Amino acid sequence: MTLSDGVILRCHLQESQPQYSDKNWVSAMNNEYQALLRNRTWHLVPRPKGKNIIGCKWVYKIKRKADGTIDRYKARLVAKGYKQQYGIDYEDTFSPVVKAATIRLILSIAVSRGWSLRQLDVQNAFLHGVLEEEVYMQQPPGYTDKVHPSYVCKLDKALYGLK
């Protein structure tokens, strides 16, 4: 399968893994990959000498509706951040988390004022943080730039799994 921008999906990777042959998972990976490209999460560069190159992997999840039926297939590209080296690939760690007390406060205000509440699922919300450190990652499994197959991704924005 060929994608735009000189990228090809290599379906011959580990045939024992069903996600590479199932059209639902392939579509989910393509959607995630295209979102990462649109967001300019990285740009390809020649492999730098003396730099740590971290790997990445696909993580799969089936999103279900309230009645248990399948809503959609979700594939997420996750950096293998455990291979990052302190002081080289990162300085501080940060995890954007909302405290339970904050949620309770917002809910109590909404109820007391009669506001209606709705749930919002923002796809790729984590991926908008700009990186200050130089982080290099292998090209995603199953996707290779046909013009520069030996290049690596220099991350410009945050990716799941980074420290």
Give residues with Cβ within 8 angstroms of 138, minimum separation 6. Answer: 53, 54, 55, 56, 152, 153
- 7-20 exposure pattern, b = at least 16 Cβ within 10 A, e = fewer: bebeeeeeeeeebb
Give the pLDDT confidence score for residue 158 in this predicted structure: 82
Q: What percent of the chain has pLDDT over 90?
A: 33
What average pLDDT does range 40-65 have in this prediction?
91
Return the higher-pLDDT residue of 30 and 126: 30
Q: Is the pLDDT at 9 greater than 50, yes or no? A: no
Least confident range of 8-12, 123-127, 150-154: 8-12
The answer to whether residue 2 scores a pLDDT higher than 60 is: no
**Strands 136-137 and 53-54: what pairing?**
parallel
